[in-house]
Amino acid sequence: MNSYLNTLIDACDRLDGSASPEAFWHAGRDLFTDIGSDWVTVGSSSLGGYTAPLVRTSLPPALMDSYISERIHLRDPWLAHCANSNETATLDVTRKLSTRPLDVEARQCEIFEGHGISTASLFPCSGLRWRGGIVLYARDVESALKLSRPQSQDVARLLVALFSAKYRPQQETASSESLYDLGLRMSQREREVLLWLAQGYKTARIAEKMGIEPVTVSKHLASARRKLGARTSAQALAIAICNGALPL
């Protein structure tokens, strides 16, 4: 009991001592690292839907680029799990791939394996006006075993509860490199380009309307496609309209 009490006091001190959202994230990440997690992801979405969660993660940017560019975030089964269950879920990457499945989770595992992740444990959680989950990743068998111990799971659930109670995703800023809005956080310029596109204008004409170079228009479109998980500009436009990201 004393160890749990000490963990609780230490976690509260470190989280309460964070003066900014960035400092709070780093304090939480370090707490999960202390119990054996090699990487940490916090996903949050409004209580009304899970189509475009806000994600804060210590995962390598290259992994997140694959996750977004391949539109896995639009089909991620763990989003549904967070919406419908409070139970912890664990993904054994090697075991999953050994069954040779043909589903989105298999592609997730391929990406995870390519970046040295052996297991991932999802802890659904919720806070003020949001719901989501915290994922702890293990790099190797030793880390996986450490995280899977009943005592480690109990401590992890305690830390998840503390973190989620104090986390305020609405205070996050888009400037952080570890923050990903999986769908709707486009810049004003990116929205403007898509609005002109919706009116049927081509790149050169959009550039003329906006007073910028055509290559800059192309860059805005490419960035919008990446953020929306779209392969084409037409698809990006459709996703943005359907998700209410464009004020048409």
What confidence tens digit (pLDDT) does each residue in 81-93 have?
Answer: 888 889 999 999 9
Answer whether 28's CB lies under 8 Å from 15's CB: yes
Per-residue pLDDT of 33-45, as tens digits, reads: 999 999 999 998 8
Rg (alpha carbons) of the chain, rounded to whole number = 20
pLDDT above 70 covers a percentage of the chain that reads 90
Write down how long the chain is: 248
Provide the 8-state DSSP code for 102: -
User: Cα separations (Å) of 49 from 72, 112, 176, 200, 230?
Assistant: 17, 26, 24, 31, 20
* pLDDT interval class at 188 (50, 70, 90): confident
User: Quick check: 208 pLDDT over 90?
Assistant: yes
Per-residue pLDDT of 91-111, as tens digits, reads: 999 999 998 888 888 999 999
> 6, exposed or middle or buried, with CB in 10 Å at 0-12, 13-18, 19+?
exposed
Q: Give the contacts of 241 (CB within 8 A, at least 6 positions apart).
A: 198, 248
More confident call, 214 vs 173: 214
User: Quick check: 29 pLDDT over 90?
Assistant: yes
pLDDT above 90 covers a percentage of the chain that reads 43
pLDDT value at residue 187: 74
Structure pTM? 0.74
Least confident of 10-14, 75-79, 198-202: 75-79
User: Quick check: 50 pLDDT over 90?
Assistant: no
pLDDT value at residue 15: 93
Closest CA to 76 of 40, 43, 39: 43
User: Quick check: 74 pLDDT over 80?
Assistant: no
Q: Hey, how many other C-beta atoms are within 10 angstroms of the C-beta on 122? A: 21
User: Quick check: 183 pLDDT over 60?
Assistant: no
CA atoms within 13 A on the CB side of 173: 7
Average pLDDT over residues 118-143: 92
* pLDDT interval class at 178 (50, 70, 90): confident
How is the chain split among helix, strand and coil, in percent rounded to 5? 55, 15, 30
Report d(CA 187, CA 227) in Å as an integer. 10
SS3 28: helix
